[in-house]
Amino acid sequence: MTSMNGLVVNLTHSVDDPDRCSVAMVVAGASVASEQKTTVFLSSEGTRLAAKGVADELQEDGFAPMSQLVSTFVDAGGTFLVCSPCAKKRGITADDLIPGASIVGGATLVALLADGAASLSF
């Protein structure tokens, strides 16, 4: 059953909690593989996942490498939206981002949710 409105995965962790980050990316990967429009909204420490090279350093026992989870998600059509003030606070600019990621304001997330996207938070 495909929902037109898709799924937003709100991810607030990355290097600070690779386990939680891995679970979120497995769920996001399963969603996009099921032909759901899938967006991972990166906020707080989650924003670091969108910076080039960060995923390459993350590997949680029992999960595929983070770099593989991220690339599979993006290759399948998933997108990353990065919280603008969160990125700015951490010195992450548009030039630092991996493919499939863009820095956005909160209104972008609100629009997805108002349009009926389901959401999960990690």
- Report the Cα–Cα distance between both ends of the chain, in Å, rounded: 24
Is residue 55 within 8 A of residue 21, CB to CB? The reply is: no
Structure tokens at 14: 């990355």
According to the model, what pLDDT value does residue 3 have? 47
d(CA 86, CA 96): 14
pLDDT at 34: 94
Give whole-number Cα distances, 41 to 21, 44, 57, 62, in Å: 12, 10, 20, 24
pLDDT at 4: 61
Query: If the chain, 122 residues long, is cut into consecutive pieces of 10 residues, what is the mean pLDDT of each piece?
Result: 76 96 97 95 97 96 96 96 97 97 93 91 94
Closest by CA position to 68, among listed 22, 37, 100, 117: 22
